[in-house]
Amino acid sequence: MSLRARLALVIALLAFLPNLVLALTLGLMGEGPWLPLVLWLLLIALVSGAVGYFLARSLLRPLEELTRALAYLSVKEGPVNALRLPAPKEPPPMEIALLRARFGELLQRLQRLMEAREAFYGALAHDLKTPLLSAIRALEYLERADHLGREKRVELLLALRGELFQAHLLVENLLALSRLEARTPQRETLNLRALAEDLLLRYREEAGRRGLGLTVEGVGLARGERLLLERALANLLDNALRHAKTQVRIRVEEGALQVEDDGEGLPLPLEALAQPFRQGGPNRGSAGLGLYTAKRVAEAHGGRLLTCKTPLGGACLRLELPSAKEL
């Protein structure tokens, strides 16, 4: 039954029941013949039904107008930031006016989210295009450069690998962020020491090429999704390797991973550096997505990413996670 039918029925019953009680009382008291009373009740029932119908229609008119306005928005084509609720034909009741205001606020929030997403993907496309174009130009040069010696060719190939690696990092972080938007993390008990040592094997060659020492200390367990936590830790480790002078260290604790280096430290507060595509220094954070992704991964697991102090004197970032002991 529709809301209009229910409201009409309630109004009709409120108008009809007192007359029914009065007619039955008069009939039982012998104040008159039954036939006129029955005819009177039928007339009252018809009038009550008509009154209920017209009153319900009048009361629900502002709500029906709002429903039509929302239906108009759902089929209207065009950009989201151009969507507006049509103005009401007459001043609505206070409750409907408040409902319209809340829908307007929701629409504005949706517009801001869409604008932020468009800016995000626009910046991503720009930052992804830069290393890819550089790689294409390097390959075109190598195709024609028969005169290059081995040393110059290796130097150019290393630069090419660096550009492709940056593009790879962007794609990996984007995939991690899409996983976080699509579903909640699949939690399992993880050995954080083993996870850190696996990453060290991947980065040991890079660290050796930069002349950096790479170590891991401590043990601990945590609850989380392995692929997402690997991505977050890899981002922190990649930042540390790029800015360290001689040493990078991963400290493992119960429910926490800490990445330390002996570089210059963070140039800006973490809140600023963890904004996508807003880097605090040369290439810090893989186009700004590195720290942002690590922060989102930590928060999706019920943890947090924060700064800390290190005896190495450089940057120290701590990824705190739910401990396995909290089960």
**For the segment 1-26, what is each residue's pLDDT rounded down to a tens digit?**
677 777 788 878 888 788 777 777 76
Would you state the pLDDT for residue 251? 94
pLDDT digits (tens, 9 = 90+) for 252-304: 999 999 999 999 988 888 888 887 655 444 444 344 678 888 999 999 999 99
Would you state the pLDDT for residue 30? 62
Q: Name the pairing type of β-strands 221-224 and 256-261.
A: unpaired
Would you state the pLDDT for residue 306? 93
Q: Residue 60: pLDDT band by 50, 70, 90 thresholds? A: confident
Beta carbons within 8 Å of 288's beta carbon, 6+ residues apart: 273, 275, 276, 277, 278, 279
The chain-wide mean pLDDT, for the chain, equals 81
pLDDT above 90: residue 219: yes
Would you state the pLDDT for residue 150? 78
pTM to 2 decimal places? 0.62
pLDDT above 60: residue 117: yes
Average pLDDT over residues 200-221: 90
pLDDT above 50: residue 147: yes
Mean pLDDT check: name the lowest of 74-78, 89-93, 114-118. Answer: 74-78
Would you state the pLDDT for residue 278? 54
